[in-house]
Structure formats: structure tokens, C-alpha cells
Structure 1
Amino acid sequence: MRRLPPLAAVRVFEAAARHENFTAAAAELGMTQAAVSYQVKLLEERVGVALFRRERRRVVLTEAGRRAAVPVGRAFDAIDGAFAELRAEDEGMLTISSSQTFANTWLAWRLGGFQMGHPEMAVRLSVSDTLADFSIDEVDVAIRAGLGPWPGLDADLLIPIDFTPMCSPGFLARHGGRLELADLIRLPMISPQDPWWPWWLNEAGIEVPKGRLRSGVRMDSQANEGNAAMAGQGVAMLTPFFWRNDLAEGRLVRLFDQVSTRGNAYWLVAPEHRRGTPKIKRFREWLLAEIRQDQRQG
């Protein structure tokens, strides 16, 4: 069993011995000079030996203090080195958790640009619609959909989640080349159980039948719904931000001007105490800049 003196006092002794100056040690440790003097006195009482000799306006290590200062300094160097390795290892890998929709329609297409800008860092993207638990999951940051904020998490707003019906040009051509609002109820819907459908239809002034709108193919993410719409399988309720390239290049068409929202948004979240971590800060700055650039272009 180790018989260690109070480690707080040992830490103060190491700094005071290195500087041979209580004022300098206090400045390094963020303490008052009186607190340094108290901790040193506490340690001296514990070990039963004087470690410093008080002279006029300064302190000088005793012989016992000098003998103790060398191995104590080495021990603190070893501790610092051990944690420096952990810090370096942590800084070398950034793990991002993202929902399927955000990852597959936007982030995965651009994440390589971040990694190329930071070649010293490995980047891992974990895609799941399950919310990351920062207390147990090995995740640095997460892209989360919801109303926000969340207790204990620092959150940056990325984009509002809005939605409007879209389909492929071919699907539209097969149904006369132009649709009226009332036509949506009778057309094949992609994921008709999605609550976005009745929300949008009600806001558009369409009376929605009670119960399920109609049977139809059910997808597990907006990314898959958008691809199914481009394949001509029906009309999907999609977020324009994610599909603006497909709209611009003619793979999808917006059927109406109306865009609805239920107040949700995508957020970048990280534990509050890790907001200033360099790798998280670099990713936040890059992500927000990319979002702003895409919004200007859209």
C-alpha cells in the first residue's frame, strides 16, 4: 500500500521547487502565494522535514528539498508524458455520429474535403438514427435532428428541416405533366405513413382522409425516399436543401411552391466541456462554413 502525501501539496511543491519562488509557482498554478505557502507547510508537516528555508524576500530549497525535488519532478514529467500520449491519440481521430439522411444526402459527399484539409487526423463517420450517448459511445460530435437544445450539450444550428413533395420528371410526364393539389391523394406516395404528408397537405388546404393515407412503399430514411422518387416510384416528401443538385440537374422536380416545417432542425452537438477541443473546433468551423456556402448557392 502506498503511503503518499497529499498529491495537491506535492504538485505545489514541484512547481515551487522548480521555480524556487512561491510567487512564480502561484502564478503557474493559478493560486495565491498564501495558498502555495500553506500547501508547502502542510507537506513539510506530513513528511516531518523542512523542504524550504525562508530567507529575506525569497525561499531556498533545503538539502532534503533538493533530494526530493529531482524524483518528484521526474514523476510529474512521466505523468505529463502519459497523458500527452492519450491527448495525441485522441486528437488523431475524429468520430462523427450522423443520421442516415444527413450522412447519405450531404455529409458523406463532402467529408473527404475536411480530411484532406487535416491529413494528420483520421475521420470516422458512424451512421445511425439512434441518438449517440456521449457518456458511453466513442463519439466526439454528432449531427442530431430535433427541436434542441439538449442538456449538457453544446449545439450549433445547421439547417431547418422543411419539406415539400417531389418526384422524377418521368413520373410527372406519365401523369399528364402537371399536377393539382388534389391529385396527390390518388397518386403513389413514397412513405405515406410519414407524418410530414398530412402536415403538408393540411397546410395546403387539402382534406386528409382519416387513418393511413394509402398503402405504399415505406423507406427508412429520406435518402432512400429521394432515390426511390428519382427512380419514378412515386411522390416523396423531401427537404429541398438535400436535393438541390438533383433538382438543378433535372433528376427531381418540385411539384408546388409551398414548403412546410414542423420546427425541427439539424444541429451539430458535442458535450459542453469538450467544445474547445481543437479537433472539434476545427470540424465545427469547417461544417458551418460548408453549410453557409451551400445555402448561398442554393
Structure 2
Amino acid sequence: MRKIPPLAAVRVFEAAARHENFTAAARELGMTQAAVSHQIRLIEDHLGQQLFRRERQRVILTDAARRAAAGIGKGLDTIEAAFADMRSDDESTLTISTTHTFANAWLAWRIGGFQMQYPDIAVRLLVQDGLANFSGDGADMAVRLGYGPWPDLATHRLMEYDFTPMCSPGFLAARGGHIRPEDLLRLPRISPHAQSWACWLQEAGLAQAGDASPQGLLMDSQANESHAAMAGQGVAMLTPFFWHQDMSDRRLVQLFPQVSSLGMAYWIVYPEHRRRNRKVRRFCEWLLAEIGVKSVKEPL
């Protein structure tokens, strides 16, 4: 038999600990402040120790309670996710959070193949460059750019995030059909202060390039930077993987053989407890195969 306080009281304690405010916890749980205080006293009586110190008009967690609160929060998340997974097994929609660039430059063009293979699974793309909040925004999984891995998340590495200067054929032709690396210091550059520019220029032997960065268009994603480059607005630092078709169709030109990297990659990420979820597994298998990942260190 488990020796834990009543789960209703545990739930109240987690909310009160997270807010360190009984009024805020009561508001979140739809209770009165007196009811919250009563549930906290039940746990204190059960444990024989104080959970909060009352100081003036506020409550402060004791050190022991603060340590316990972190684990209790994760435990409640796991319980919530377990019931959510039971529901989601019967649901037909897979919600994927991903970046604007990955969605617009690659995934949106190919996601129909997944839906043809699994017609019983509808796909909803949640396009955002911020980190996915798996307990708050309804995402089942995410494709993210970063160094990885991340605590409490299952991860599968998809591809390296590398980059090289590209421009439109018209932009290149207007400059005599030839651009040297040092020419980039005076030509219009798209998002010229991005870290990728500094990295590439340094590896090209232009270590002082950052001191001479010209003003240029500032874009919030590589997807938008590529469109500006295709329109002849300047040179953009782009990832060849995303723009192979545009290079084949002569909308973009890769100016130099050198391709650089900051060590980041695109990853599939999802909470560990969703590893056995059917729709998550099927999408991971499809995406890894579509990108051509031949081996995965972490089993699906």
C-alpha cells in the first residue's frame, strides 16, 4: 500500500508550491483560499512537518518542500500524460510543432506522403520558432533546431544545420557572373549580423568581417531570407538541404563550395512517455526514412 497523502491534497500542494501563493492556487483550481489552506494542513499533518513559512502577507516554501515540489510536479505531469495518451490513442490527429523554415522549406512539401501512407492520421502543423510546450500547446512532438539532447525528451537527430552563401542568378549576373568571398564584405547581405555569417566568413579567412558588417535586410527565418535572395535583394546564408530544388530550378545559386556549421542540428523531440504512442512512432519512422537517416542511436 502506498504511503502518500490524498492525491487531491497533493494536487493542491503542487499548485500552491508553483505559485507560492494560496490565492493564485485557489484561482487555478477553482477553490477557495480556505480550502487550499485546509488541503495543505492535511499534508503537513500527514508528514509531521511544515511545508510553508508564513511571512507577513505571503507564504514561502521550506527547503524540503521546494525539493519535493519539483518531483511532485513531474509526477503529476506523468500522470496527466498517461491519461492523455490513453485518449490520444483513439484520436486521429497528430500535432507537430516545428520552425517556420523546416515547415515552409521542406515539411509542407512532403507531408502529403505521410498522410497517403497513414490515411487514418490527420496532421496539424503548429509553426512556431519558440520551444514547444508539450503540456500547454497541444503538440504531440516537435522538430527543433539546437544542440540537443534535452532532459526528459526522447530525441532523434535528423540532419546537420549547415550553411553557405546563396543568391539569385540575376544578382550574380549583375556582378559579372563572379563573386569572391571578400566581395561579400561590401555586397548587400540578408540578415548580415546572424551568427552563421560570422562563422562562415571567419572560416573563409575573413576574420575581421564582423567589424565591417553592412546594414541589410533583417529576416526572422531562413525561409524568408531565401525568398528575399530569390528576389535579388542580396546574398543569404542558407542551408543547402532545404534549397536543392530551388538551386536545380535556377532560382538560387550556391556561390562557393565551402559549407560551414555551428554544430547545431535539426532533431525530432517528444516526451519520453509518448515513445510508444502509435501516431508519434509512425511519423518518426516516416520522417527519418524520408530524410535518409540510416541509423538511430535511440530506439523508437
For 1:261, the equivalent position in structure 2 comes to 261
For 1:55, the equivalent position in structure 2 comes to none
Secondary structure of the structure 2 residue equivalent to 1:187 = coil
- Retained in 2: the 8 A contact 1:198–1:208? no
For 2:52, the equivalent position in structure 1 comes to none
For 1:46, the equivalent position in structure 2 comes to none
- Retained in 1: the 8 A contact 2:115–2:121? yes
For 1:157, the equivalent position in structure 2 comes to 157
The CA distance in 1 between the partners of 2:237 and 2:185, in whole Å, is 13
- Retained in 2: the 8 A contact 1:99–1:128? yes
For 2:273, the equivalent position in structure 1 comes to 273
CA-CA distance at 1:208 after TM superposition: 2.6
For 1:203, the equivalent position in structure 2 comes to 203
- Bigger Cα displacement from structure 2, 129-138 vs 257-266: 129-138
For 1:65, the equivalent position in structure 2 comes to none
The CA distance in 2 between the partners of 1:224 and 1:210, in whole Å, is 23
- Retained in 2: the 8 A contact 1:193–1:212? no
1:127-142 to structure 2, matched below 5 A, reads: 127-142=127-142
For 1:145, the equivalent position in structure 2 comes to 145
For 2:87, the equivalent position in structure 1 comes to 86
Which runs of 5 or more structure 1 residues have no equivalent in the other structure?
1-81, 294-298
- Retained in 1: the 8 A contact 2:98–2:128? yes
The CA distance in 1 between the partners of 2:274 and 2:84, in whole Å, is 16
The CA distance in 2 between the partners of 1:144 and 1:83, in whole Å, is 23
- The C-alpha deviation readout for 1:153-182, integer Å capped at 9, x for no partner, is 000011100000000110000011001111
The CA distance in 1 between the partners of 2:282 and 2:136, in whole Å, is 23
- Retained in 1: the 8 A contact 2:165–2:235? yes
- Retained in 1: the 8 A contact 2:165–2:255? yes
1:228-247 to structure 2, matched below 5 A, reads: 228-247=228-247
The residue type equivalent to 1:95 in the other structure is T
- Retained in 2: the 8 A contact 1:98–1:142? yes
- Retained in 2: the 8 A contact 1:167–1:236? yes
Which runs of 5 or more structure 2 residues have no equivalent in the other structure?
1-82, 294-300
The residue type equivalent to 1:191 in the other structure is S
CA-CA distance at 1:86 after TM superposition: 2.6
- The C-alpha deviation readout for 1:123-143, integer Å capped at 9, x for no partner, is 100000010011222110100
For 2:116, the equivalent position in structure 1 comes to 116
CA-CA distance at 1:209 after TM superposition: 4.2
TM-score (norm 2): 0.67
The CA distance in 2 between the partners of 1:173 and 1:83, in whole Å, is 57
The CA distance in 2 between the partners of 1:192 and 1:97, in whole Å, is 28
- The C-alpha deviation readout for 1:72-120, integer Å capped at 9, x for no partner, is xxxxxxxxxx999834543x11000000011110001111111122111
1:159-198 to structure 2, matched below 5 A, reads: 159-198=159-198
- Retained in 1: the 8 A contact 2:163–2:240? yes
CA-CA distance at 1:281 after TM superposition: 0.6
The CA distance in 2 between the partners of 1:194 and 1:84, in whole Å, is 40
The CA distance in 2 between the partners of 1:234 and 1:133, in whole Å, is 36
The CA distance in 1 between the partners of 2:209 and 2:172, in whole Å, is 23
Secondary structure of the structure 2 residue equivalent to 1:251 = coil
The CA distance in 2 between the partners of 1:145 and 1:132, in whole Å, is 12
Shift in alpha-carbon separation, 1:181–1:83, aligned structure 2, 3 A = closer
The residue type equivalent to 1:135 in the other structure is S
CA-CA distance at 1:250 after TM superposition: 1.1
- Retained in 2: the 8 A contact 1:162–1:262? yes
Runs of 4+ in 1 over 6 A off after TM superposition: 82-85
- Retained in 2: the 8 A contact 1:114–1:286? yes
Report the number of matched residues: 212
Secondary structure of the structure 1 residue equivalent to 2:184 = helix
Shift in alpha-carbon separation, 1:123–1:210, aligned structure 2, 3 A = closer
Identity %: 57
For 2:29, the equivalent position in structure 1 comes to none
